[in-house]
Amino acid sequence: MERIERHVSHGGSQEVWKHASSTVGGDMKFGIYLPEAAMRGQKCPVLYWLSGLTCTEQNFITKAGVQRYAAEHRIIVVAPDTSPRGSDVPDSPDYDLGQGAGFYVNATREPWAKHFRMYDYVVSELPALVEAGFAASEARSISGHSMGGHGALVVALRNPGRYRSVSAFSPIVAPSQVPWGEKALTAYLGDDREGWNQYDAVALVGSARERLPLLVEQGGGDEFLNAQLRPELLQAACAKAGQPLTLNVREGYDHSYYFIASFIGEHMAFHAKALA
């Protein structure tokens, strides 16, 4: 592991690390914010943040303003890149497939299967690295935006006991039923729609074995709301499954980081309560 960026921020340290990932078969980068207590070696809980289409590890750490709240609540925040990168990693000319668009799945189809294993990377390799290399406790929560909101929901729902809470901003709640998801899941997993269910929060919530604190933030003016996001499908699935859900629809807010920055403080307080 090599530290490639370090900036003092709100009394802690915002860093970017690069490492050779055995899971994705190439280098990965992640941002990590260490509150001052963690820099002194005191173990702190960890929030994992999964970013959306086209993002790298930079977007969330530069635009969301999370550091203020991470410092206040003494939470480490880890934000990985959204896919492996590089000239030896397959790509597509489309923004919604390939590099920058890993969709947090383990791909089974060529040419993606070798590198596009972001599900395992986020669930296993990344937390192991973080918990071995930093003053991180094993108290974990997870959140994300759009494609990363989908990732956070799926990862939390499939791994009972591993996370204390889950939240999402503008998540793709039912990738099996919307164009972004249908395109990506077809490419990465093939045409068998049954196999898609393990990466579809709406499909997973019915069989989930624990009742995690679940918070979803959605902009009412989001340009992708009706075609790609469809939070009402998650609401219906949660109601049917008896999974409590707080869904905040915020009038006028769009899909951008201005929306995330406006409510990230509330999400950090939500996770801090579960991580305490």
Catalytic site residue 19?
no
List the one residue from 104, 112, 180, 259 that touches a second copy (CB under 8 A).
259
Please tell me whether residue 257 binds a second copy under the rule CB under 8 A.
yes
List the one residue from 8, 128, 236, 276 that touches a second copy (CB under 8 A).
8
Catalytic site residue 21?
no
List the one residue from 31, 100, 149, 219 that touches a second copy (CB under 8 A).
219
Query: Whole-angstrom Cα distance, residue 145 to residue 79?
Result: 11
List the one residue from 18, 43, 68, 109 that touches a second copy (CB under 8 A).
68
Q: Which of residues 5 and 91 has its CB atom nearest to a second copy in the complex?
A: 5
Q: How far is CA 39 from the centre of its chain?
A: 24
Catalytic site residue 255?
yes
**Catalytic residue of the set 9, 21, 83, 146:** 146
**Catalytic residue of the set 73, 145, 255, 267:** 255
CA distance to 15, 51, 118, 155, 185, per residue, from 21 (Å): 18, 19, 11, 19, 23
Please tell me whether residue 17 binds a second copy under the rule CB under 8 A.
no
Q: Which residues bind a second copy (CB under 8 A)?
A: 7-11, 14, 62-63, 65, 67-68, 219, 221, 250, 252-254, 256-259, 261-262, 265
